[in-house]
Chain A
């Protein structure tokens, strides 16, 4: 089942262009895992793209390749007109479960990108502004273990923004949070995206999160990961959690995505 809207690749203004990308992992017993198969995605500047798919279908792999942390086997990957060869200062990564360094204070964690990696030392946004924006102003001198999960992930987002990158990659960033905190984080993320004009790729296993935040929702198949749908989310911004569920588009897209995932033999 191929969705009609895929296949319009090669647009000149794409900030991120993923072209016929494939990835195969060798396994310890001499076999292999085909993680990604012929993936094509064009993402324009300022877009917010959500990716959903069954677990193990290669979502993290795709994100790691875009982040320059893993290498692909076939295809091309172009970022701002250039082939990706390793991590780029234009990309900020938000990890699952915050991934803060427990021996550094919140402020030191957020400042980390400005301390390492040579040359690019200039601060895009001041660390204090970032902390204030996410409500962490008073917690700069605290250690991560003194913070709740939601606050830790706020710090994780601040850290990803510290170099003022154009692109934010997020791999199930709120998966470990309780439902209420998660909703609050969704609202904040929408604000950050709107005020900072970032291009965001968000991997999530929540259909409602994907629809609330995304301009587009990309649905991937079970392994080997392929793109089976690329859906435009035509719901005006700013969106609110209450109003979005009443929007007819929301109900339509939600059931379409659920149907696609069900056809993959697994609902998440």
Chain B
């Protein structure tokens, strides 16, 4: 019998080589090709179609602006490092506060019918409100310092975490809850051992959104008035119609955004490994 059991697993290949190859082509080569096409079209538009530089700067001009912000001392007031640090720091604090509160309240509402009835209808209603519209109000409340940046980031990070953790925790298979009940497990044990891991894919999808929203929130707050940050770099360049400078800053933001997203995905894939089977 144990012989049969042993062959059960070993006869199944764990890695199927064919899809792996295709995914390399899809994930590396094609995006690279996309970028080359995009830059070529951009260059073509500027040099052949003569789009003026205050609308669209040449790729070289944007690259030069980018280089001048990167190739400096990390403490130079002209570089991207100090403003990026300021933006990321506020976004990170906002993300932690907003997503932590979102997870906490999402859990509370998933566990308690009373809390759900009290707040969930409004949470879903507020979710569809364009929350950046509240940003000016938050600036009035928190001023032009770091406080308003953190607050707007937290607000934006809050909702995806609230909705996703609630949805994930509620979608748990009732048989698994029955299992824990049959073992006389406490409510918290059921939450920790069954519900939270079950909700993990939902929560990671929420984190993915919350990270990007928090980053976005800080920059929007900086547009409304700030001493430092990437939002300030952009508004300063805009004030002198330095479109190449705006492009360079946008490139940095895009790059950081992709990096954040990739990091979350990587942690997700490592932690929620059991959910990956059959998805690729």
Identify whether the interface residues of B are mostly helix, strand, loop, or mixed.
helix
- A101 touching B194 by the CB < 8 A rule? yes
- B182 touching A91 by the CB < 8 A rule? yes
CB contact between A87 and one of B1, B14, B182 (< 8 Å): that residue = B182
- A87 touching B181 by the CB < 8 A rule? yes
CB contact between B8 and one of A93, A103, A147 (< 8 Å): that residue = A147
Identify whether the interface residues of A are mostly helix, strand, loop, or mixed.
loop
Q: Which of B172-207 contact A (CB under 8 A)?
A: 173, 175-176, 178-186, 189, 193-194, 197-198, 200
- B175 touching A116 by the CB < 8 A rule? no
- B9 touching A142 by the CB < 8 A rule? yes
B189 to chain A, nearest CB (A): 5
Whether, in the assembled complex, A151 has its beta carbon less than 8 Å from a beta carbon of chain B, the answer is yes
Complex Cα spacing A115 to B179, Å: 13
With a CB–CB cut-off of 8 A, which chain A residues contact B4?
135, 184
**Closest A residue by C-beta to B188:** A116
Complex Cα spacing A67 to B14, Å: 38
Complex Cα spacing A151 to B200, Å: 26
- A93 touching B9 by the CB < 8 A rule? no
Known A143-B274, A145-B274; judge A116-B8 contact (CB<8 A).
no
- A112 touching B182 by the CB < 8 A rule? no
14 A-B pairs whose Cβ atoms sit less than 8 Å apart in the complex: A69-B181, A86-B184, A95-B175, A95-B179, A101-B176, A103-B200, A103-B272, A112-B193, A116-B180, A139-B9, A143-B274, A146-B14, A150-B8, A184-B1
Which residues of chain A have a CB within 8 Å of any CB of chain B? 64, 67-69, 86-87, 89, 91, 93, 95-96, 99, 101-103, 112-113, 115-118, 135-139, 142-148, 150-151, 154, 184, 188
Which residues of chain B have a CB within 8 Å of any CB of chain A? 1-2, 4-6, 8-9, 14, 173, 175-176, 178-186, 189, 193-194, 197-198, 200, 272-275, 277
